[in-house]
Copies of this chain bind each other. A is one copy, B any other.
């Protein structure tokens, strides 16, 4: 049964497992460095749907469906779907999950949703009231641009600090058993607000949240960066990654560079794919963790990964009202058995 270590970290002595995971993407992601990692990629971002919102919901449906089916589970084996996204009122999650006939709990953690959902799923499974819980999330470049910035037809220029929202969805089944990949610990982050007001620079808004969560986690667990094969943030991009390294050295005294990667930097070839500061969106860390990272853990090229999902908790309206952008980072520690 779970116990708290330090101030905030939850440790699971009988660690919940990642039973299955799936990642589905759009076209641009299938042309990037991780093209071979995904379960399925659509040849165009319309996904055969009438509009971008429906397309995003379909991506979520596909990821959840594949995560269930690839290990021979039935829908009736799933006790709860935890899902969230960036759309207003999380409609991609609702419409993507509604046809499974499984209890549903909507989350809002912006781009931190994958780590947040995995952390929460681990706590729920550990508590014995649930056998199998799905953690899932989605985002779509076109639905996000329409909602947070400009309609694509406007053809607006994007700042070099801006990140490209990943088109895709990811899902994993968290349960009990003797699977290869365990969730050993989890931590829910606190909100940081460093006064960043530039909605085209999410990396700067989120870096302090990542730094705080990483520092709090290391202190609570009495570990150092070198104890991990990988500390993976998602999704700070180039700009946010530089700021994270600087903050961690200057404010907390940690040198993260030997073990750190960021999902926003992994998913695109930024120069060739015109992705500016890298990838973002709920699916960014979702599809990286639920494909490449899970494979590396299974193959034992990674044995201990601290996955820190980062989210900018803004709405376009609040930015226009002149408020700064609060951010959050939730963490899960993945271990090879």
Cα–Cα, bound, A193→B8 (Å): 39
B91, B124, B317, B330: the one within 8 Å of A314 (CB): B91
Are A313 and B108 CB-contacts (below 8 A) given A123-B127, A190-B102, A321-B53? no
- Does A328 sit within 8 A of B, measured CB to CB? yes
Residue A159 at the B interface, CB < 8 A? no
Q: Is B91's CB under 8 angstroms from A129's CB?
A: no
Q: List A residues 73-129 near B (Cβ within 8 Å).
A: 79-80, 84, 86-91, 93-95, 97-98, 101-110, 116, 120, 123-124, 126-129
Q: Does A10 contact B (CB under 8 A)?
A: yes
Q: In the complex, what distance in Å separates the CA atom of A130 from the CA atom of B107?
A: 19
Indicate whether A2 sits within 8 Å of B128 (C-beta atoms), given known contacts A313-B89, A313-B106.
Answer: yes
Q: Which of B91, B106, B109, B330 contacts A318 (CB 8 A)?
A: B91
- The interface residues of chain B lying within 8 Å CB-to-CB of A86 are 89
A313-325, CB under 8 A of B: which get 1 and which 0?
1111110010100
Distance A90 CA – B128 CA, assembled complex (angstroms): 30
| Interface: A189 (CB within 8 A) | yes
Alpha-carbon distance between A94 and B192 when the two chains are bound, in angstroms? 10
Which residues of B have CB within 8 Å of A317? 53, 88, 91
Task: Given A317-B88, A321-B51, decide whether A103 and B190 contact each other with a Cβ distance below 8 A.
Answer: yes
Instruction: State the Cβ distance, A200 to closest chain B Cβ, in Å.
Output: 17
B79, B84, B193, B315: the one contacting A88 at CB < 8 Å is B315
> Which chain B residues border A315 with CB–CB below 8 Å?
87-89, 91
Q: Contact: A91 with B316, CB < 8 Å? A: no
A127 touches B313 (CB 8 A): no
Alpha-carbon separation in the docked complex, A53 to B107 (Å): 20
Tell me whether B314 and A105 are in contact (CB under 8 A).
no
Q: How far is the CA of A20 from the CA of B257 in the complex (A)?
A: 45
Q: How far is the CA of A54 from the CA of B323 in the complex (A)?
A: 10
Known: A4-B79, A8-B79, A94-B191. 9 other contacts (CB 8 A): A2-B127, A3-B128, A84-B106, A88-B315, A98-B326, A105-B116, A123-B129, A124-B127, A127-B127
9 pairs of residues in contact across A and B, judged by CB atoms under 8 Å:
A10-B130, A51-B321, A89-B314, A91-B317, A94-B326, A95-B318, A98-B193, A104-B328, A123-B129
